[in-house]
Amino acid sequence: MVNSERVVMRVFTLALSIALAIGAGEILLRVKNSSMRNYDMEMWKYSRELKQRLDNPDLPFTHVTSRTAQLESVEIRLNEVGLRGAPLDPAPQGGRRILFIGGSTTLGWGVAESDTVSARVERMLTEAGEKAQVLNGGVANYNAQRYVTRFFQELAPLKPTDIVVNFFHRDAEDLKVERANPLLRHSQLAYTLWLASQRLFERPDEQGMAEHYRKVYDKNSHGFQVMRQKLRELSEYAKSNGIRIYLTASPDVHNLVDYKYGFIHDIIHEIANEDGYTFIDLLPSMKGRSAESLFAMPGDPHPNALGHQLMAEAIFPVIHQPPANK
């Protein structure tokens, strides 16, 4: 009996020690990450605070509505339809309602709302004498399948006069639908350990990433075919509804000096021509610049305010329609 009591006590002590260690690790991580300088953890918080899961494999999550969060020390506010920005005003009478759709670059991850490409384009159009409202429909961790599906399910009632598809390399990838995991959703420690385990096997160098994307953009790859289908569906909808459509190609800003992904821009240009999009290549506006000058913060390769300024300056001349009396 005494031996069995000792075993029980040792098991209890071990379990208690493990629980205390896990609790201490969780607390220390949360204190450390309160600086908002950990890109991965800020994305984790974004998923918790500003996204909601959907029972749809083509659109596994979307934005919540009417909520605000501080992420990477930047306020991201979502309005009543889940767009980043202020509550939605009516479309300007006799003017344009321009909707940007895309992933985290379109959202303006790590960038103040007023510095995003959509906000900048709206100011530029207004200063040029146009009556225009520009809406930010970006959602992080979206590909073309997801943002086009979201448009049809949630945003089409906005009746835009123009749609700008802000395309990035990842938009042709076949993204996994992650199953809900309460432990990963609520524990920073569990998420950090899970992420570290994933990256043990996912650390390709620059050349390896280029090879990866050549496979992604093979015309027989599943992700590529789904992307083509979705962009074609959007194009056909736009044509039947008199909507002007634009397709940008946003560059990866890791290395803009010896750029490895020009072939993707060529493919997107070809798709734009085939489907009736006006193509806007954003690479020339950034090529040759250092990664450090465009990173949202160290370790976060999303374009910063300067990057969004350069994108807006490239997009504005293409979509600007001077008033008839000028």
Distance in angstroms (rounded) separating the CA atoms of residues 237 and 87: 26
Determine the pLDDT at residue 326: 41
Instruction: Answer yes or no: do 46 and 168 share one domain.
Output: yes
Instruction: Answer yes or no: do 8 and 43 share one domain.
Output: no
Does residue 28 have a pLDDT over 80?
no
Show Cβ contacts of residue 126 under 8 Å, excluding neighbours closer than 6 positions.
132
Residue 194 lies in a domain: yes
Does residue 271 have a pLDDT over 90?
yes
CATH number at residue 109: 3.40.50.1110
What tokens appear for 246 in the block? Answer: 């634009």
Instruction: Answer yes or no: do 24 and 145 share one domain.
Output: no
Distance in angstroms (rounded) separating the CA atoms of residues 308 and 303: 6
Please compute the mean of the pLDDT values over residues 134-138 and round it to a whole number: 98
Which strands form 96-102's sheet, in the order they lie side by side? Answer: 132-138, 96-102, 162-167, 244-249, 278-281
Instruction: Answer yes or no: do 50 and 29 share one domain.
Output: no
Instruction: Answer yes or no: do 214 and 281 share one domain.
Output: yes
Residue 324 lies in a domain: no
Where in the sequence is the domain holding 5, given as residue range(s)?
A: 1-34
Instruction: Answer yes or no: do 41 and 144 share one domain.
Output: yes
User: Which value, to the nearest 10 degrees, does the dihedral of the CA atoms of residues 302, 86, 138, 251 take?
Assistant: -40
Distance in angstroms (rounded) separating the CA atoms of residues 103 and 291: 20
Does residue 21 have a pLDDT over 60?
yes
Q: Give DSSP secondary structure letters for 20-85.
A: HHHHHHHHHHHHHHTTS--HHHHHHHHHHHHEEE-S-TTS-EEE-SSEEEEETTEEEEE-TTS-BS
Phi and psi (nearest 5°) for 120? -65, -40
| Burial environment of residue 302 by CB neighbours within 10 A (0 to 12, 13 to 18, 19 or more) | buried
Does residue 26 have a pLDDT over 80?
no
Residue 325 lies in a domain: no
- Which of 143-157, 194-208, 212-226 is predicted least confidently? 194-208
Which of residues 322 and 301 earns the better pLDDT score? Answer: 301
Residue 196 lies in a domain: yes
Instruction: Answer yes or no: do 122 and 191 share one domain.
Output: yes
Phi/psi class of residue 36: alpha, beta or left (left: φ > 0; alpha: ψ in -120 to 50)? left
Which of residues 188 and 203 earns the better pLDDT score? Answer: 188
Instruction: Answer yes or no: do 310 and 257 share one domain.
Output: yes
Does residue 81 have a pLDDT over 50?
yes
Residue 268 lies in a domain: yes
User: Which value, to the nearest 10 degrees, does the dihedral of the CA atoms of residues 302, 60, 166, 108 take?
Assistant: -40
Cα separations in angstroms, 217 against 70, 171, 173: 35, 10, 8
Residue 251 lies in a domain: yes
Instruction: Answer yes or no: do 176 and 230 share one domain.
Output: yes
Please compute the mean of the pLDDT values over residues 121-132 and round it to a whole number: 97
In which band, very low, low, confident or very high, does the pLDDT at 118 lie, cut at 50, 70 and 90? very high
Residue 93 lies in a domain: yes
In which band, very low, low, confident or very high, does the pLDDT at 225 lie, cut at 50, 70 and 90? very high
| Burial environment of residue 4 by CB neighbours within 10 A (0 to 12, 13 to 18, 19 or more) | exposed
- Number of structural domains (the chain) is 2
Determine the pLDDT at residue 9: 72
Instruction: Answer yes or no: do 106 and 229 share one domain.
Output: yes
Residue 326 lies in a domain: no
In which band, very low, low, confident or very high, does the pLDDT at 37 lie, cut at 50, 70 and 90? confident
Instruction: Answer yes or no: do 217 and 206 share one domain.
Output: yes
Per-residue pLDDT reduced to its tens digit, 44-61? 899 999 999 999 999 999
Instruction: Answer yes or no: do 248 and 310 share one domain.
Output: yes
